[in-house]
Amino acid sequence: MFRSGLLAASTTRMMTRSSPLAGRMIVRAASTTATQQRQTNQSTTSSPAPSTIYKIYHYSSYSLLALMPLGWALAPAYSMPIDLVLNVIIPVHTYLGMEAIIGDYIYAPAARYSAKAALAVVTVLMTLGLYKLNTKDVGISQSVKLLWKDTTTHSARK
């Protein structure tokens, strides 16, 4: 930043000698760039600690990597505790990942707010749906296991 400031100052002096208007334009461009840099720094420092959020996201990835195969191996007999843990981990992992995507690709504040509100609603609905699947039906692990079950042995409904 110091070197670019010197370059802008020397360019400003050089342009001011030839044309007063050109020198003012360069000074305005340099001050605009500095203002944008301050805004970028403020926006990154005012958000919650990204390292904590990234740690939670990555630990949820690791736990999904360990618990999903374990749940499939133990389904349907002993998978209920694992399914209930997955009922919490899957929505948390999805929410944090989608929130990062929204933060990266949606720039307008109103659209970002709307997208985050929609994400919160979808996350709550997903959590409730997984809970219902775990308590009233076969559970997450058995449901995924049934995706690969051979359906040719069953007779089709007529």
pLDDT(138) > 70: yes
pLDDT(70) > 70: yes
- Please give the helix or strand (H or E) that residue 137 lies within, else none: none
pLDDT band with cut points at 50, 70 and 90 for residue 37 = low
How far apart, in whole angstroms, are the C-alpha atoms of residue 58 and residue 43? 23
pLDDT(14) > 50: no
How far apart, in whole angstroms, are the C-alpha atoms of residue 89 and residue 59? 10
Q: What is the pLDDT of residue 42?
A: 52
Evaluate whether 111 touches 155 at the Cβ level (below 8 Å).
no
Q: With a threshold of 0.85, does the pTM exceed it?
A: no
